[in-house]
Amino acid sequence: RKLVGKITTGSRNFDELLGGGMETQAIVELYGEFGSGKTQVAHQLAVNVQLPPELGGLNGSAIIIDTENTFRPERISQMVMGLRAIDDREWRPEDFLKNIHVARAYNSNHQILLAESAMELAESLRETEHPVRLLIVDSVTAHFRAEYVGRGTLADRQQKLNKHLHDLMRFADLNNALILVTNQVMAKPDTFFGDPTKPVGGHVLGHTATFRVYLRKSKGDKRIARLVDSPSMPDGEAVFSVTMEGLRD
Ligand code: ATP
Ligand code: MG
């Protein structure tokens, strides 16, 4: 087994909740209502994975499967400029944008295909200076929800989702990468990985760890992250902010 890597969120509170950042060889499911900050966290991780280890990164690159057309290069630029307050280097947005490979998924089958092609892209980048250490699927559930409506199709949907998840877990293991997926839920959490009161894991998830993080809005730019059913960390909450410069305490 390869050594697990950790990627900073940009917030010390959030990092501590996760045991020092988001881990590779794991799937992190960010779930929460619209506007809770899932896409913001995803953008920040796509920046931070590229940082050198001394700043909480892995010198890696990122792949984003964008299903809702919410990737914004300008937001990446803002976050890169925000790095200047953390470390006095000449950070340049274009240097970061070139290591973020974005693909728009038009439907659930396309999304599954893109996850398969991500594997090939990661292979071709494996021996470069910036191997892929992060794969984002934002949102992992939206297309499936929209396409499979009604009771008769639920089993079908679940089977497709399970296959997709399997591919993602394989990606995490083979590339020593973090898989970050988002899942919009209503105030009452109906999460993709099942009932939050039941243990997660078992034969479907294999040995890939799954962290489930519930995000919710608080006052102003504050957000609350709640860790649910982590394999290695106690459940708990952390407060962080989404600022123009990116995620902060
Ligand atoms: P959805 O389920 O609809 O996809 P989400 O959880 O992905 O929602 P985000 O898009 O991550 O939500 O969060 C949007 C919020 O992030 C905005 O309402 C705002 O509070 C904050 N935000 C977005 N861009 C900026 C910015 N440039 N500067 C500061 N805050 C921002
Ligand atoms: Mg979003």
What are the tens digits of pLDDT across the range 58-92?
Answer: 999 999 999 999 999 999 999 999 999 999 999 99
Q: How far is 72 from 139, CA to CA, in rounded Å? A: 15
Q: How far is the CA of 231 from the centre of ligand 2 (A)?
A: 26
37 lines ligand 1 (CB under 6 A): yes
Which residue's alpha carbon is at the smallest distance from atom 9 of ligand 1?
37
Candidates 191, 242, 245: which one to mutate for ligand 1, based on the most atoms within 8 Å of Cβ? 242
Distances (CA, A) of 35 to 31, 182, 217, 223: 11, 12, 8, 10
The answer to whether the CB of 35 is under 6 A from ligand 1 is yes
Tokens of 116: 């398969």
Strand-pairing partners, residue 183, are 31
What pLDDT does 200 receive?
42
The mean per-residue pLDDT over the stretch 118-147 comes to 96
- Rounded CA-CA distance 100/220 in Å is 29
pLDDT tens for each residue of 181-199? 999 987 665 566 665 544 4
The question of ipTM being above 0.85 is answered as yes
For 151, residues 6+ apart whose C-beta sits below 8 A from its C-beta are: none
Are the beta carbons of 28 and 6 closer than 8 angstroms? Answer: no
Q: How far apart are CA 22 and CA 212, in angstroms?
A: 11
Q: CB–CB of 33/54 below 8 Å?
A: no
Q: What is the pLDDT of residues 207-242, one digit of tens each?
A: 567 899 999 999 999 999 999 878 788 889 999 999
Q: Is 40's C-beta closer than 6 angstroms to any atom of ligand 1?
A: yes
Using a 6 Å cutoff on CB, does residue 82 contact ligand 1? no
Distance 1 CA to ligand 2 centre (A): 33
What pLDDT, on a 0 to 100 scale, did the predictor assign at position 235? 86
- Rounded to the nearest whole angstrom, what is the distance from the C-alpha of residue 175 to the centroid of ligand 1? 29
The Cα 39–Cα 180 span in angstroms is 10
- Using left for φ > 0, alpha for ψ between -120 and 50, and beta otherwise, residue 25 falls in left
